[in-house]
Amino acid sequence: MLMLAEYGTLSLAEVLGPSIELADGYPIEAETADRIERWRDKLKEWPYSKQVMLPHLGEAREAPHPGEIFRQSDLAATLRKLVDAEAQALAAASRASGDPGAYDRFYRGDIAREFVRGVQEQGGLITLADLDKWRPLVEEPLTTRYRDIDVYKLDVWTQGPALLQSLNILENFDLKALGYNSAGYVHTLYQAMNLAFADRDFYYGDPYLPPAEPRRGLLSKEYAKARAATIRMDRNDATAGPGDPYPFQGESNPFADLLRKQRLAERGDASRALSAEALDEFKQGFHSGTTSVVAADAAGWLVAVTPSGGWVPATIAGRTGVGLSQRLQSFVLDPAQNPFQRARAGASARASR
């Protein structure tokens, strides 16, 4: 809604139209229908999820059958309420930044009240005050230049900067000489991403609360060169862990002791073989992925949306039809694994965001 109000040319009704049509009912694809069936026991724990996703309760197959018309009536009603709110706001000539009609109805009106009621009924902690105080944020992206290409990603509250760091590391290798998708090419990409992800896990947190992440060091070309020098072309480094970017921004690492503990833990993990059950779980996760939608127009505007979570299995918030995100695995409260998350644990509980 903020993007539409500030930069868009279409109405909310036009943008939400296809989603409303799908929520009214569409022939569900086999992959999603079968995924619902696999998670049916978990979905039964949540009354509103169960009502939507398991139309054949008590039968041998409780999820929708592939090709069956799958309806999300509550979600369709919520989306129509937003369209109605926009129309009323426009009729009153009161549209402003963020489209206050639809925005207010979702975060402060009847949709918000049902959302909070449904969440709390199922043991959730979201309050009306939480929704009222939340604001979308407009920020400058982080960027790096990979050879002759400028690349932009969101800040460290996402995984985005790990791509920038990976590209910085890869600049130190002649990928073209290795040959596209050759063993050496894939190995080099993997090692570079492995190092960037190790830094992500240790140094990323909420950039709007202290302490500040060492972004400048993490995205330093000199730091990338130092990280690249640790890559061996003859074998995988199973002990790869976070580096120390602070010297590359002229500072000392305030978490040096935790970094040493993390490196020791990495070496310990590498010495343990995966059990058959853990290996099977890894393989399942390896073949899963996140949907990313990117669209550009002739004027050069580009929108990238990555809707992670909120689907199967997910708790639906009352009769709103809205699924809650289940991406809490990114919240780490063990300072040995991520001191930035731990340092903010108390502050986050008090924050108005």
Give the torsion sign (CA, 59, 55, 292, 142). negative
Say which residue, 200 or 307, is predicted with more confidence: 200
Between CA 23 and CA 59 the distance in angstroms is 24
Pairing of strands 69-70, 142-146: unpaired
Contacts of 8 (CB under 8 A, 6+ apart): 15
Q: What is the pLDDT of residues 19-76, one digit of tens each?
A: 999 999 999 999 999 999 999 999 999 999 999 999 999 999 999 999 999 999 999 9
In the chain, beta strands by DSSP E: 26-27, 69-70, 142-146, 149-153, 293-296, 302-305
Please tell me the pTM assigned to this model.
0.82
What value does the mean pLDDT of the chain take?
A: 89
Nearest Cα neighbor of 248 from 226, 274, 269 is: 226
Q: What is the pLDDT of residues 193-203, one digit of tens each?
A: 999 999 999 99
pLDDT at 96 over 90: no
- CATH fold for domain 142-272: Serum Albumin; Chain A, Domain 1 (1.10.246)
Highest mean pLDDT among 152-156, 271-275, 288-292: 152-156
What does the pLDDT read at residue 92?
77
- Domain range annotation of the chain: 2-25+71-136+306-328, 142-272
Average of pLDDT values for 168-196? Answer: 97
